[in-house]
Amino acid sequence: MNSERVRVCNEKPIDANKPYVLYWMQAYRRFDANHAFSHAVQLAKELKKELIVYEGLRMDYPWNSERIHQFILEGMFENQTRADELGIQYWPFVETSENSGKGLLKDICKDAAVVVTDDFPCFIIPKQTSQLAKKIQCQLLSIDGNSIIPLSRFPKQASAARILRLWIHKEIQKDFPNPNVTIWKKEDLMGVKGNSKTNPKIGLPKSISEVIKRIPFQNQVSPVKNVKGGRKEALRFLDEFLKQKLNLYLTKRSEPNRPELTATSGLSPYLHFGWIGLEEIFYAVLKHSTKGKWNPERMSHEKPGDRENFYSPSVACNHFLDELITWRDIGYLFFWKDKPENINLNHLPDWVKANFVKHNNDHKEYLYTLEQFESAKTHDEIWNAAQTELVHTGRMHNYMRMLWGKKVIEWSKSYEEAFQILEHLNNKYAYDGRNPNSYTGILWCFGLFDRPWFPERNVFGNVRFMSSESTKKKFKLNSYLEYIGELSGKSNSLFP
Ligand SMILES: Cc1cc2nc3c(=O)[nH]c(=O)nc-3n(C[C@H](O)[C@H](O)[C@H](O)COP(=O)(O)OP(=O)(O)OC[C@H]3O[C@@H](n4cnc5c(N)ncnc54)[C@H](O)[C@@H]3O)c2cc1C
């Protein structure tokens, strides 16, 4: 394991007298192509210990809902099947009554020589990790499997995508990531199989519906029909993208349309829950775009920082990889460097803050409350369509997401209230919400990672402005609006 990915979370020893190494699967919810799982296997082999994998699902996480719960549980059932195939000890726990999970993980850690977990930098995970690190007697290591380049390689947060792009291209040239992602075979894991006694609370319920019925969710958000969590579905999305959409990524990606006609991958929910690895997507895309003939020599070594031409001779492929690596990583790096617990507008650059002081009291033609936004009752048909898509499908097209965020800034009482509304709606409804890119995506609407734009505008000042009128001119929206009409026609109310 590359030590650049390993963070020691407490000053406690590895206890060689204990029977197992524990992998606490928190964010990257898969066995294959997973840096943290690989590290745990390696440690178990070195220490000659059994390996236990613990995956928990608590009831009370912020923005909990039937939608998110069902999605995660589908992945857990698949993990059980994969663990059985590999013959490893997988200990899932699903909390169904208040506090029934309290102290469970700490108890399981009592028999661990060392605990390994995921160094995901956002939401409840950093706090859960630091709390466990204090409570247990053995060493806790968290592994950065967030991207193809270990985030510790970057000197600081990047203030713009062009800066991070250059750093990434230079790092990749120095040391190309190993293209052989680990897809495990039973034989590879023979040495770490064990028979430690499980806690009686461990085990999956008989069915997902049985769990869902028992939990008093704080948010009433229904699962979306035909949307399924888990690794198999992630790999299916990747395959479909390669075969049908990658070639169109350059020309059609930004055009809002019904999902089957949108040239994007749809992978963000699967990346968020860790059912597919960055390296898997990265190599699959490079291989596909060069008909299997790609190798690191095919990178454009003279042009680090060149978005169009760097990775492969295919411009569409380069654009996709730039979103997957530069734009995704800029959000992960933003969180990973400081792990801020509370994200708010103080994280914006000084030029934006000065701008907002100047325009704080500007006149606003429309003002809406959270309830009006949530039920898609604004004067603007395009904005309402985007919000309806989010509520009904748990997704929103990237271009619409940018417009959606900008308009909430324009139509809210204050900048702070706009941020809170966007955070709430995005994290409540989106399958990919509660992610570093949720926050950096929202803050981008406020000017993060962007530059000043001219002329200076009402409310926005020099922050980039977007309008529904120009969106209508830029794209043919008929098919998208028809799709949204079909979605809302299926239900009498936006609220399930
Ligand atoms: C207001 C707002 C909120 C957002 N909230 C989220 C969120 O909650 N979760 C989330 O993952 N992304 C968020 N984004 C970023 C972006 O909209 C989504 O990542 C993208 O739409 C996902 O669709 P896809 O998987 O089909 O992307 P594709 O175009 O197929 O791209 C592949 C992958 O690259 C990454 N990516 C693509 N575009 C961006 C981008 N602009 N910024 C960062 N990463 C990107 C994603 O991981 C994505 O899955 C937000 C953007 C905005 C403006």
Q: Tell me the average pLDDT across 402-410.
A: 98
Q: Whose CA is nearest to atom 2 of ligand 1?
A: 441
Q: Give residue 490's pLDDT band: very low, low, confident or very high (50, 70, 90).
A: low
Q: Which has more confidence, 492 or 416?
A: 416
Which two three-digit tokens encode residue 381?
């048909």
Q: Tell me the average pLDDT across 300-319.
A: 92
Residue showing tokens 């100047």: 358
CATH code, 326:
1.25.40.80
Which pTM does this prediction carry? 0.97
Tell whether 202 is covered by a domain.
no
Q: Tell me the average pLDDT across 70-80.
A: 98
Q: Please tell me the predicted confidence (pLDDT) of residue 93.
A: 98
**Does the beta carbon of 64 sit less than 6 angstroms from any atom of ligand 1?**
no
- Asked if pLDDT for residue 323 goes beyond 60, the answer is yes
Tell whether 204 is covered by a domain.
no
Pairing of strands 139-143, 6-8: antiparallel
Q: Tell me the average pLDDT across 407-419.
A: 98
Residue 93 pairs in a beta bridge with: 56
Q: Find the angle CA(56)-CA(58)-CA(60) to the nearest 5 degrees.
A: 165
CATH code, 117:
3.40.50.620
Least confident of 2-6, 220-224, 273-277, 432-436: 2-6
**Does the beta carbon of 331 sit less than 6 angstroms from any atom of ligand 1?**
yes
Q: Please give the distance, rounded to the nearest whole angstrom, from the Cα atom of residue 437 to the centre of ligand 1.
A: 7
Q: How distant is the alpha carbon of residue 210 from its chain centre? A: 27
Render pLDDT for 199-213 as a digit per residue (tens, 0 to 9): 899 999 999 999 999
Tell whether 28 is covered by a domain.
yes
Tell whether 218 is covered by a domain.
no
Please indicate, yes or no, whether residues 363 and 471 belong to a single structural domain of this protein.
Answer: yes
Domain boundary among 339, 368, 387: 339
Domain boundary among 306, 339, 372: 339
Please indicate, yes or no, whether residues 335 and 355 belong to a single structural domain of this protein.
Answer: no
Q: Please give the distance, rounded to the nearest whole angstrom, from the Cα atom of residue 321 to the centre of ligand 1.
A: 12
Which two three-digit tokens encode residue 15?
């206890």
- Asked if pLDDT for residue 319 goes beyond 90, the answer is yes
- Cβ contact 35:73 at 8 Å: no
Q: Please tell me the predicted confidence (pLDDT) of residue 300.
A: 87
- Asked if pLDDT for residue 381 goes beyond 90, the answer is yes
Tell whether 207 is covered by a domain.
no
- Cβ contact 427:434 at 8 Å: yes
Q: Please tell me the predicted confidence (pLDDT) of residue 489.
A: 83
Tell whether 105 is covered by a domain.
yes
Q: Give residue 491's pLDDT band: very low, low, confident or very high (50, 70, 90).
A: very low
Tell whether 394 is covered by a domain.
yes
Residue 56 pairs in a beta bridge with: 93
Cis peptide before 223 (omega within 30 of 0): no
Among 298, 355, 345, 317, smallest CA distance to 172 is for 298
Residue 371 pairs in a beta bridge with: none
Q: Give residue 194's pLDDT band: very low, low, confident or very high (50, 70, 90).
A: confident
**One-character DSSP codes across 398-467:** HHHHHHHHHHHHHTSSSHHHHHHHHHHHHHHH-TT-SSHHHHHHHHHHTTTT----SS-BTTTBTS----
Render pLDDT for 101-115 as a digit per residue (tens, 0 to 9): 999 999 999 999 999
**Does the beta carbon of 271 sit less than 6 angstroms from any atom of ligand 1?**
yes
Please indicate, yes or no, whether residues 24 and 123 belong to a single structural domain of this protein.
Answer: yes
Q: Tell me the average pLDDT across 133-137.
A: 98
What is the extent of the structural domain holding 17? Answer: 3-145
Q: Please give the distance, rounded to the nearest whole angstrom, from the Cα atom of residue 18 to the centre of ligand 1.
A: 42
Please indicate, yes or no, whether residues 28 and 83 belong to a single structural domain of this protein.
Answer: yes
Please indicate, yes or no, whether residues 291 and 164 belong to a single structural domain of this protein.
Answer: yes
Ligand 1 atom showing the smallest separation from residue 396 Cα: 21
Q: Please tell me the predicted confidence (pLDDT) of residue 488.
A: 87
CATH code, 426:
1.10.579.10
Q: Whose CA is nearest to atom 47 of ligand 1?
A: 268
Q: Give residue 458's pLDDT band: very low, low, confident or very high (50, 70, 90).
A: very high
Please indicate, yes or no, whether residues 84 and 54 belong to a single structural domain of this protein.
Answer: yes
What's the N-to-C CA distance of the chain in angstroms?
A: 46
- Asked if pLDDT for residue 459 goes beyond 80, the answer is yes
Among 227, 261, 267, smallest CA distance to 244 is for 261
- Alpha carbons 275 and 118: distance in angstroms, whole number: 13
Please indicate, yes or no, whether residues 430 and 319 belong to a single structural domain of this protein.
Answer: no
Please indicate, yes or no, whether residues 160 and 62 belong to a single structural domain of this protein.
Answer: no
- Asked if pLDDT for residue 12 goes beyond 80, the answer is yes
Render pLDDT for 136-184 as a digit per residue (tens, 0 to 9): 999 999 999 999 999 999 999 999 999 999 999 999 999 888 888 899 9
Task: Give, for ligand 1, the residue of 248, 321, 323, 390 to mutate: max count of ligand atoms closer than 8 Å to Cβ.
Answer: 323
- Asked if pLDDT for residue 97 goes beyond 90, the answer is yes
Report the percentage of the chain scoring pLDDT > 70: 98
Q: Give residue 494's pLDDT band: very low, low, confident or very high (50, 70, 90).
A: very low
Residue burial 91-120, b: 16+ Cβ < 10 Å; e: rest: bbbbbeeeeebeebbeebbebbbbbbbbbb
Which two three-digit tokens encode residue 431?
């399958």
- Asked if pLDDT for residue 1 goes beyond 70, the answer is no
Secondary structure (3-state) at 150: coil
Q: How distant is the alpha carbon of residue 180 from its chain centre? A: 23
Question: How many Cβ atoms from other residues are within 10 Å of residue 485's Cβ?
Answer: 12
Pairing of strands 20-24, 112-118: parallel
**Does the beta carbon of 65 sit less than 6 angstroms from any atom of ligand 1?**
no
- Alpha carbons 138 and 131: distance in angstroms, whole number: 13
Which two three-digit tokens encode residue 84?
């059985």
- Asked if pLDDT for residue 219 goes beyond 90, the answer is yes
Q: Please give the distance, rounded to the nearest whole angstrom, from the Cα atom of residue 411 to the centre of ligand 1.
A: 23
- Alpha carbons 172 and 166: distance in angstroms, whole number: 10
Render pLDDT for 247-281 as a digit per residue (tens, 0 to 9): 999 999 999 999 999 999 999 999 999 999 999 99
- Alpha carbons 96 and 215: distance in angstroms, whole number: 6
Domain boundary among 277, 306, 339: 339
Question: How many Cβ atoms from other residues are within 10 Å of residue 11's Cβ?
Answer: 7
Virtual CA dihedral for 345, 426, 160, 314, nearest 10 degrees? Answer: 180
Q: Please give the distance, rounded to the nearest whole angstrom, from the Cα atom of residue 492 to the centre of ligand 1.
A: 29
Least confident of 129-133, 156-160, 193-197, 371-375: 193-197
- Alpha carbons 457 and 359: distance in angstroms, whole number: 9
Ligand 1 atom showing the smallest separation from residue 253 Cα: 29
Please indicate, yes or no, whether residues 395 and 472 belong to a single structural domain of this protein.
Answer: yes
Which two three-digit tokens encode residue 309?
């031409």
Phi, psi of 377 (to 5 degrees): -110, 60
Phi, psi of 65 (to 5 degrees): -165, 165
- Cβ contact 93:54 at 8 Å: yes
Q: Please give the distance, rounded to the nearest whole angstrom, from the Cα atom of residue 478 to the centre of ligand 1.
A: 23
Q: Please give the distance, rounded to the nearest whole angstrom, from the Cα atom of residue 399 to the centre of ligand 1.
A: 10
What stretch of H or E contains 139? Answer: strand 139-143
Domain total of the chain: 3
Among 9, 45, 29, smallest CA distance to 145 is for 29
HSE at residue 274, side-chain half, CA atoms within 13 A, is 25
Task: Give, for ligand 1, the residue of 246, 325, 437, 445 to mutate: max count of ligand atoms closer than 8 Å to Cβ.
Answer: 437
**Does the beta carbon of 265 sit less than 6 angstroms from any atom of ligand 1?**
yes
Q: Please tell me the predicted confidence (pLDDT) of residue 493.
A: 42
Tell whether 361 is covered by a domain.
yes
Please indicate, yes or no, whether residues 58 and 95 belong to a single structural domain of this protein.
Answer: yes
Mean pLDDT (the chain) is 95
- Asked if pLDDT for residue 191 goes beyond 70, the answer is yes
**Does the beta carbon of 33 sit less than 6 angstroms from any atom of ligand 1?**
no
Please indicate, yes or no, whether residues 485 and 391 belong to a single structural domain of this protein.
Answer: yes
Q: Whose CA is nearest to atom 7 of ligand 1?
A: 438
Least confident of 75-89, 176-190, 373-387, 468-482: 176-190
Q: Whose CA is nearest to atom 41 of ligand 1?
A: 327
How are the residues of the chain apportioned to helix, strand and coil, as percentages rounded to the nearest 5?
50, 10, 45
Render pLDDT for 328-345 as a digit per residue (tens, 0 to 9): 999 999 999 888 888 999
Q: Tell me the average pLDDT across 176-196.
A: 90
Please indicate, yes or no, whether residues 324 and 415 belong to a single structural domain of this protein.
Answer: no
Q: Whose CA is nearest to atom 24 of ligand 1?
A: 266
